[in-house]
Chains A and B, each alone.
Chain A
């Protein structure tokens, strides 16, 4: 934390609770997949919680975010209800997408969450368009686009950076660099200096931050979002971090050096902020109570999801299109 103004304890406690909520949700998401309750792809955000939390702490309810396949943390941080998310994960009625999208398509427009995405880096492309709409409609909102380091070598990301800068869109790019593109070490397949240089070459303002330090993320996001709100055009936050688990919930990540995993776990964003809070005079028991309360809430969310019915079969064929939908054919 290099900024002069330190955040209030209340704000940090709120961010701590958010990080705990995201972690608990995704720990249980992995369990849901292991037990067969969830299906398909579940990408856990465990270890990276400080980034979504620190960025979204600087967004208004009316601001938009777009995310990618590892999107549960961004959704929760933007205010999407974990109950609706758990139901979506289990493919049940009452899921945020009615059980038709699953983990990779969680979205809630009522919270400004435009969607996770199954294609790298298409969430960024949609965020560019959202920012274009904001500009066209003269709205008072900004857009934040989260993506991983796996996107750094995809052409549409370069198109997005160019486009956002040319049209000076109100858009914050957030690169969450967890070192791996699926199971491949990103550095091994990336030419040049990589993450932050990609944006700098498009003349976009950047900040680099320790993505496991929520106070640093919060402070950098505060500076960049203020700049964007002032009409300064797009900005780019490059946050280094690490995912504790594999690319997917069933990937044990055995291609990684155990020492590397251990060293990053020692930099746990939640343990770090708890140490900071204790230094600020917060009672250890109060932090434990937060974790307990979060666990009860997430237990209840998954319990509600397990109890919810599957969608009625006719929903397989609703919301395809108004004209020429499945009923036509």
Chain B
């Protein structure tokens, strides 16, 4: 074991996969000397050469389009789109080509590729460099969507994404790049579609992913001070999501809160809440709740940007509100 950052864990994971499989290569802007926007490719071009770590022009359509073409012709490309916001510049190639080519062509070919996009708000990047576009990708048949929230999960899930024969959208949060935690450098791939029960609890289930995980754990600590026990589930994979873990948790607690940084309207939380309500309505003791961003572009000024953030306080308040108010104790009468 060793402590490493989210960026270092991602870099190690790609290096190990490129060592393991000569068909794996990466392409995108500023990967070589620069080593990627967060150092997540540092040293890899020196080790693997300029063909396998390909520095490209600012040319998102072709970065993505050529990756699809190379994926259907025997290689396993790892696409770096730098910011998720630029994923829209390659949306045609992702949605119309990568996601559908296997199906349209009657299964005669697959497109094994990874589409890395760094998501989310970080330090005043404003409206075109702060978006979380996760729900859009989940909506597209053919895509797998992964959003790791810890260095260890990034390490294991990037391996799984590279070995997956389906196109995988891999969403890395900008705010997490510099965070550190324990990672087993020898660990293999983690299973796609399996959530992690991060903190067991009894009174409510909080489902979250990516950087909101940290705020969820802060909220759980704060609630514990009041004697409220919050179960925290890190979904890790958004499609396909781990219904077994979520349903088992909600069946136990009877309450569901979903927290995510992306816009609440049409967000992925809506899908989770709807599925839970439709599947296990009688088990619910309270209406499920979403804690997410308002439907506004992300502003620049700090006090304005903060208005679009999901905070630990907001999560804790949402949990408190769904519990019965009783002066004799938070859970009396439930």
Interface membership of chain A positions 59-90, coded 1 if the CB is closer than 8 angstroms to chain B and 0 otherwise = 00000101000000000000000000000000
Pick from B59, B69, B93: contact of A162, CB below 8 A.
Answer: B59
Residue A160 is within 8 A (CB to CB) of chain B in the complex: yes
Pick from B64, B108, B192: contact of A109, CB below 8 A.
Answer: B108
Complex Cα spacing A95 to B166, Å? 23
Q: When the two chains form their complex, are residues A122 and B97 in contact, meaning their CB atoms are under 8 A apart?
A: yes
A243 → chain B closest CB, angstroms: 24
Please name all residues of chain A whose beta carbon is closer than 8 Å to the beta carbon of B245 when the two chains form the complex.
none
Pick from B66, B77, B96, B106: contact of A101, CB below 8 A.
Answer: B106
With A136-B25, A321-B143 already in contact, the answer to whether A166 and B65 are too (CB < 8 A) is no
- Interface residues contributed by chain B, number (CB under 8 Å): 47
Q: When the two chains form their complex, are residues B164 and A130 in contact, meaning their CB atoms are under 8 A apart?
A: no
Q: When the two chains form their complex, are residues B193 and A133 in contact, meaning their CB atoms are under 8 A apart?
A: no
Q: When the two chains form their complex, are residues A162 and B106 in contact, meaning their CB atoms are under 8 A apart?
A: no
A62 → chain B closest CB, angstroms: 12
Residue A310 is within 8 A (CB to CB) of chain B in the complex: no
Interface residues of A in 141-159 (CB under 8 A from B): 155-156, 159
Residue B276 is within 8 A (CB to CB) of chain A in the complex: no
Interface membership of chain B positions 52-85, coded 1 if the CB is closer than 8 angstroms to chain A and 0 otherwise = 1010110101101111111111110100000000
Complex Cα spacing A132 to B93, Å? 16
Please name all residues of chain A whose beta carbon is closer than 8 Å to the beta carbon of B74 when the two chains form the complex.
133, 137
Residue A319 is within 8 A (CB to CB) of chain B in the complex: yes
Most buried by A among B67, B164, B193: B67
Please name all residues of chain A whose beta carbon is closer than 8 Å to the beta carbon of B177 when the two chains form the complex.
none
Residue A264 is within 8 A (CB to CB) of chain B in the complex: no
Pick from B51, B52, B66, B71: contact of A125, CB below 8 A.
Answer: B66
With A125-B93, A133-B75 already in contact, the answer to whether A159 and B59 are too (CB < 8 A) is yes
Residue B196 is within 8 A (CB to CB) of chain A in the complex: no
A170 → chain B closest CB, angstroms: 12
- Interface residues contributed by chain A, number (CB under 8 Å): 49
Please name all residues of chain B whose beta carbon is closer than 8 Å to the beta carbon of A162 when the two chains form the complex.
57, 59, 62
Pick from B69, B71, B96: contact of A128, CB below 8 A.
Answer: B69
Please name all residues of chain A whose beta carbon is closer than 8 Å to the beta carbon of B107 when the two chains form the complex.
98, 318-319
Complex Cα spacing A115 to B23, Å? 22
Residue B144 is within 8 A (CB to CB) of chain A in the complex: yes
Whose C-beta in chain A lies nearest to the C-beta of B164?
A323
Q: When the two chains form their complex, are residues B57 and A321 in contact, meaning their CB atoms are under 8 A apart?
A: no
Residue B105 is within 8 A (CB to CB) of chain A in the complex: yes
Residue A195 is within 8 A (CB to CB) of chain B in the complex: no
Q: When the two chains form their complex, are residues A126 and B65 in contact, meaning their CB atoms are under 8 A apart?
A: yes
Q: When the two chains form their complex, are residues B69 and A127 in contact, meaning their CB atoms are under 8 A apart?
A: yes
With A130-B73, A136-B70 already in contact, the answer to whether A321 and B61 are too (CB < 8 A) is no
Pick from A101, A129, A156, A319: contact of B73, CB below 8 A.
Answer: A129
Please name all residues of chain A whose beta carbon is closer than 8 Å to the beta carbon of B141 when the two chains form the complex.
320-321, 326
Please name all residues of chain A whose beta carbon is closer than 8 Å to the beta carbon of B109 when the two chains form the complex.
107, 109
With A129-B73, A130-B69, A163-B59 already in contact, the answer to whether A321 and B142 are too (CB < 8 A) is yes
A84 → chain B closest CB, angstroms: 10
Please name all residues of chain B whose beta carbon is closer than 8 Å to the beta carbon of A135 when the two chains form the complex.
51
Q: When the two chains form their complex, are residues B61 and A320 in contact, meaning their CB atoms are under 8 A apart?
A: no
Pick from A115, A132, A163: contact of B101, CB below 8 A.
Answer: A115
Whose C-beta in chain A lies nearest to the C-beta of B238?
A324
Complex Cα spacing A107 to B100, Å? 13
Residue A114 is within 8 A (CB to CB) of chain B in the complex: yes
Q: When the two chains form their complex, are residues B166 and A323 in contact, meaning their CB atoms are under 8 A apart?
A: yes
Interface membership of chain B positions 150-179, coded 1 if the CB is closer than 8 angstroms to chain A and 0 otherwise = 000000000000001110000000000000
Please name all residues of chain A whose beta carbon is closer than 8 Å to the beta carbon of B105 when the two chains form the complex.
97, 100-101, 105, 107, 109, 115
Residue B104 is within 8 A (CB to CB) of chain A in the complex: yes
Most buried by A among B62, B75, B101: B62
Most buried by A among B61, B73, B96: B73
Please name all residues of chain A whose beta carbon is closer than 8 Å to the beta carbon of B65 when the two chains form the complex.
122, 125-126, 128-129, 156, 159-160
Residue A222 is within 8 A (CB to CB) of chain B in the complex: no
Residue A328 is within 8 A (CB to CB) of chain B in the complex: yes
Whose C-beta in chain B lies nearest to the C-beta of A145?
B69
Pick from B61, B106, B192: contact of A95, CB below 8 A.
Answer: B106
Residue A322 is within 8 A (CB to CB) of chain B in the complex: yes
Please name all residues of chain B whose beta carbon is closer than 8 Å to the beta carbon of A323 when the two chains form the complex.
144, 164, 166, 192-193, 240
Q: When the two chains form their complex, are residues A130 and B72 in contact, meaning their CB atoms are under 8 A apart?
A: yes
Q: When the two chains form their complex, are residues B68 and A129 in contact, meaning their CB atoms are under 8 A apart?
A: yes
Q: When the two chains form their complex, are residues A125 and B61 in contact, meaning their CB atoms are under 8 A apart?
A: yes
Q: When the two chains form their complex, are residues A97 and B75 in contact, meaning their CB atoms are under 8 A apart?
A: no
Complex Cα spacing A231 to B74, Å? 21
Residue B199 is within 8 A (CB to CB) of chain A in the complex: no
Q: When the two chains form their complex, are residues B68 and A322 in contact, meaning their CB atoms are under 8 A apart?
A: no
Please name all residues of chain B whose beta carbon is closer than 8 Å to the beta carbon of A115 when the two chains form the complex.
101, 104-105
Report, nearest first, the 9 A-B pairs whose CB atoms are least far apart: A129-B69, A125-B65, A324-B240, A98-B106, A97-B106, A129-B66, A319-B107, A126-B69, A133-B73
24 inter-chain pairs at a CB distance below 8 angstroms, sorted by A residue, are A66-B69, A97-B108, A99-B106, A100-B104, A100-B105, A105-B104, A109-B109, A114-B69, A119-B97, A125-B61, A125-B62, A125-B68, A125-B97, A126-B66, A128-B62, A129-B67, A129-B69, A129-B71, A133-B69, A133-B75, A137-B75, A160-B62, A322-B164, A324-B240
Q: Which residues of B approach A to under 8 Å, CB–CB?
A: 23, 25, 51-52, 54, 56-57, 59, 61-62, 64-75, 77, 92-93, 96-97, 101-109, 141-144, 164-166, 192-193, 239-240
Given A105-B105, A163-B62, A328-B240, 9 other A-B residues pairs in contact with their CB atoms under 8 A: A98-B106, A114-B72, A129-B65, A132-B70, A133-B69, A133-B75, A134-B73, A137-B75, A318-B107
